[in-house]
Amino acid sequence: MSDRSGRQQIGAAIEDAGIIAVIRITEAPRLRAIVDALVEGGVRVVEITMTVPGAVDLIRDLSGSLPPGVLLGAGTVLEVDTTAHVIDAGATFVVSPVLKPALIECCHHRDVVVMPGCFSPTEILTAWEAGADFVKVFPATSLGPAFFKDVRGPLPSVKLIPTGGVTLDNAGDWIRAGATAVGVGTALLDATAIARGDYGVVRANAQRVVASVNAALRLRQGSGGQGVS
């Protein structure tokens, strides 16, 4: 039996997967079909944001019915009370767009992975020293993969995950630049296809991103675990 905590095991699984599918939709009834399509496309980590109507109840419903090996988490979490609610509902990791030490403390108390959102190197280091399991770099759109390579120079142990700016075409670039994993939302969830009920597009997008990230992870493993340019 592993001697690692549940939090450590979930963290390791997220690193192994390399992709977090971020679901931020307004039509909650479509959620299950979207999740199923993502899983069919190879995604193993799914984040439901608190901007989805009825997000906590949806997490509760999904948590008991996902295939083995698929992780479910909560995103856009801003308050400690919300953190407790999503953990009670079954979230195995909690993501915030901002750095709030109280959220980190709450997640650690419950043995749940936490990813606070940061932008600057100072924020990133502050979050890491406060015990963040991963640091969500947000918004990463204006930074680009080169930022990750630069930050990992002086901070090689920090586990960074970009959200915002990750596309079907550049997902692997972030991994090669040193990101531990990537958060992918809009690029996966083609709004037009979802509106017409064509979830095959979502599945195909997932397959494309998974293949790109897996190739980058294999390359990094072959180079000794370091980001490559």
Q: CA angle, corner 212, sides to 16 and 132, nearest 5?
A: 40
27 catalytically annotated: no
CA distance to 136, 143, 147, 206, per residue, from 120 (Å): 11, 10, 10, 30
Which one of 40, 123, 136, 149 is the catalytic residue?
Answer: 136
Which one of 27, 40, 47, 100 is the catalytic residue?
Answer: 47
| In contact, 46 and 58? CB cutoff 8 Å | no
| In contact, 24 and 51? CB cutoff 8 Å | yes
Strands of the chain (E only): list them. 19-23, 45-49, 71-75, 93-95, 113-115, 117-118, 135-137, 160-162, 182-184
149 catalytically annotated: no
Q: Which residues are catalytic?
A: 47, 136
